[in-house]
Structure 1
Amino acid sequence: MGFLQRIFGSGGAKPKSVAARASQPAVSAHSPSTRGSANSPQAIRKELVRVSARDTLLHNGIPADWVRADPLTTAAPGRDPGVHVRLSVLHWDPRLVVHAVALQQNLEKRILMMDPQASQWLMGLSWQFALKDDSVCPPLPHPGSWTAPAPDPAAAAPDTEPGNADVISGPTRIAGGGAPHSARAELERMLGERDASFRKDGGSSFEATQPMKL
């Protein structure tokens, strides 16, 4: 009887301990049990990102369903796995585009406030448009508009300053029609000349008031 037969028996049967281990399925290196539990460092970091994003939107008055924060596991050479935050825009509002940089900076500060060590595992933020309805988005403008000088909003703003509600009848051309302050100075000069002329002739350009005949 050979050595293996003496160990496992004449029938070649394996011991119960060996058979029991052989009947258990092999655990894959990518199975959920080895990827980290809910209490793993990565899971805690992702939850911190979600809470920080929710608080940032709430603090700035932005509806929670306008922007979604997706924390993604990211690896980089020479570094431990970290978290990359993808901000998905779900609702179109041009103010989000204008203030996206400030909103991103606000979120980064809040994450660092909640975890001062976040600079070691936070690997960046990015934006993505995942709009539910993109039909309201404006089309691209003329190609030349990107490099054209931006319009001056002050030049097109009406003069609403109190005390300057003078009315001039008929078309009037104001010389040097450039900046608004130059036009106002020219207007005041013209009105001053008109008043001086009126005082000089003593109002003779107006006929004396005659009683109405009945």
Structure 2
Amino acid sequence: MTIEEGTENATRRQLVYVLLRDALRRYGIPARWIECQMLVVSSRSRGPGMYVRLVLKHWDYRMMNYTHAFQNALLTDIERFEPQSSEWLHGISWQLEVADTCPYVDMPDKSFWQEPVQRILPAAPMEPLAPAMPAMVHVSNIPSMPNRTASPEASQLAASALASDEAQAREDLEKLFAIRDNELNREAEEGRTPFGYEATKPAPL
């Protein structure tokens, strides 16, 4: 179902997009690794609503290990900014479109699932031009990195990247407030009292 601009669903879609981008930046996850799709659904038990589909575009064992934690963090952000999200957000689903970035293309023998878990660390796909790592690396065999002093050029690049991130964060924050203001204005025009703005009532004695 198409989401029409200017509707509540369009506002919710923009809200989730901004919060996802903010979460990726906050946790240091490359933005190109995850795409977001908003699906309009209708449930017999819950009525009309939306689903967030997170499309994983790049395989990385760290991301696979923390998908559940990342999903919970994103849900918390959505609920914090939109307290009524439980009424329209039916859930989050994941879709893997990792192409050839995943080294595991075939299922292992059934005995694989019966063996005890070993303390091994699967290697993450490296960025282009980086040296390839072996398929499986034992944690005990990973050498420690030598201490190095960052060059002035590297420090300048890091400072520039930090300033860019801060500017993007401010821009996203402004978008979030604009989204919320539009939602409040729409509810006021429809004669609905926005959540959290209900008239106060005296407490019983």
- Map Cα deviations across residues 16-64 of structure 1 (whole Å, 9 max, x no partner): xxxxxxxxxxxxxx9xxxx774221111111111111111111110011
TM-score by length of 2: 0.54
Q: Which has the larger radius of gyration?
A: 1
Structure 2 unmatched runs, 5+: 121-138, 142-205
Give the superposition deviation at 1:137: 2.2
Give the superposition deviation at 1:152: 4.9
Identity of aligned pairs, percent? 34
Q: Which one scores higher on RCO, CA 8 angstroms, separation ≥ 6?
A: 2
Q: Which residue identity does 1:123 align to in structure 2? A: H
Distance 1:63 1:151 in 2: 29
The alpha-carbon distance between structure 1 residues 148 and 37, as it changes in their structure 2 partners (threshold 3 A), is closer
Distance 2:64 2:4 in 1: 37
What is the aligned length?
A: 124
Find the counterpart in structure 2 of residue 52 from structure 1. Answer: 19
Find the counterpart in structure 2 of residue 137 from structure 1. Answer: 103
Structure 1 unmatched runs, 5+: 1-29, 159-214
CA contact (8 A) 2:3 2:40 kept: no
Q: Which residue identity does 1:52 align to in structure 2? A: L
More helix by share: 2
- Of residues 105, 113, 117, the one that matches 1:146 is 113
- Superposed CA RMSD in Å reads 2.6
Give the superposition deviation at 1:69: 1.1
Find the counterpart in structure 2 of residue 39 from structure 1. Answer: 6
CA contact (8 A) 1:50 1:71 kept: no
Distance 1:127 1:53 in 2: 14
CA contact (8 A) 1:37 1:43 kept: yes
Find the counterpart in structure 2 of residue 121 from structure 1. Answer: 88
